[in-house]
Structure 1
Amino acid sequence: MSNGYPRLLEDRDVLVVRGDEQKRALVRGWLDGYDGPLPRYRIELFLGKDLYTATAMDMFEALVRLRRQLEPKGWMVAVQGSRRDTYPSGMGRDVGGGRRIYVMRMGRAATSSDLVDTLADAALDQLATIAEQEAYRDTWHAAPKHRP
């Protein structure tokens, strides 16, 4: 592609877990360019000799699509975007490409201090499946909130 694309945004090792099994994997996040006004993000995960890749209009959705490939095999990626209690806002997806997401605390409105990087490391006890993450998001949205 021209105009400096694809652009490498993330290039580092992450922990990938399956039950008691833990492996290091290389994750790369790319901005491949634009289709008109719409961005195209790509995530690659090199797990042993296997390569998993997913593309989407934001980095968080690319991660979700990558996780959809890994979950049936029992693998979870230990990054903030795989936590039960994280999710991007619509504006964060549109303006920020889903590269930062909110930690959602029950009963509390999210603020800028709750933002974390989608592909930053996460503790293993915070990881969840996509379905668990979406259920938490729905419950958080429905719950009354107060401002901190």
Structure 2
Amino acid sequence: MSEDYPRLLEDREVLLARGVERRQARLRGWLDGYDGPRPLYRIELFLGRDRYTATAMDMFESLVRLRLQLEPRGWTIAVQGARRDTYPSGMCRDMGGGMRIYVTRTGSKTSAADLVDTLADAELDQIVTVAEQKTRHAEWCESATGRRV
């Protein structure tokens, strides 16, 4: 049986910010196929004449790699996967390709009601750097489980 790859999963406009500057950009997310049993996800961002691309084993990690390309240029991308209080579980990554992530709350464990789409729109005041998001996730893990990550 033949699969059709690459498979387009997301294709829409997103908001980017750099200081007070706001720009719309085209975001595309792809499932490129499989490297053995492992999926390969790709995210592309078209900002004017610039094109940014990142590939990883799940969409969240592809987004992280894309953000790491944008951050040195001062850009942030207003999607749920870039929020201070969102992060995928291992199951979200392994079973769902990182397409959905959890909104976390200090001291509380997550449930299915806390799931949001990784590439869905988010408010700019919720967006942080990759480093800030990882730090906040480690703090949440400790508050929710009592264990350090």
CA distance in 2, matches of 1:144, 1:82: 21
Corresponding position of 1:140 = 140
Query: TM-score with structure 1 length normalisation?
Result: 0.95
Corresponding position of 2:114 = 114
CA distance in 1, matches of 2:38, 2:48: 33
Report the 3-state secondary structure (helix = DSSP H, G, I; strand = E; otherwise coil) of the residue aligned with 1:125. Answer: helix
Residue 38 of structure 1: how far off its partner (Å):
0.2
Q: Equivalent residues in 2 for 1:13-28 (5 A)?
A: 13-28=13-28
Amino acid at match of 2:20: D
CA distance in 2, matches of 1:144, 1:131: 20
CA separation of 1:37/1:144 partners in 2, compared to 1, >3 Å: closer, same or farther?
Answer: closer
Corresponding position of 2:125 = 125
CA distance in 2, matches of 1:81, 1:107: 21
The list of structure 1 runs, each at least 4 consecutive aligned residues, that deviate by more than 6 angstroms after superposition, is none
Corresponding position of 1:54 = 54
- Is 1:82 paired with 2:92? no
Report the 3-state secondary structure (helix = DSSP H, G, I; strand = E; otherwise coil) of the residue aligned with 1:5. Answer: coil
Residue 8 of structure 1: how far off its partner (Å):
0.1
Please give the per-residue CA displacement for 1:73-131, whole angstroms capped at 9, x wherever unaligned: 00000000000000000011000000000000111111000000000000011000001
CA distance in 2, matches of 1:136, 1:85: 7
Amino acid at match of 1:26: R
Q: Which runs of 5+ in 1 are unaligned?
A: none
CA distance in 2, matches of 1:144, 1:58: 25
Report the 3-state secondary structure (helix = DSSP H, G, I; strand = E; otherwise coil) of the residue aligned with 1:32. Answer: strand
Report the 3-state secondary structure (helix = DSSP H, G, I; strand = E; otherwise coil) of the residue aligned with 1:143. Answer: helix
Amino acid at match of 1:134: K
- The alignment covers a number of residue pairs equal to 144
Query: TM-score with structure 2 length normalisation?
Result: 0.95
Report the 3-state secondary structure (helix = DSSP H, G, I; strand = E; otherwise coil) of the residue aligned with 1:60. Answer: helix
CA distance in 1, matches of 2:3, 2:125: 41
Residue 144 of structure 1: how far off its partner (Å):
4.0
CA distance in 2, matches of 1:106, 1:46: 35
Amino acid at match of 1:30: W
Corresponding position of 1:5 = 5
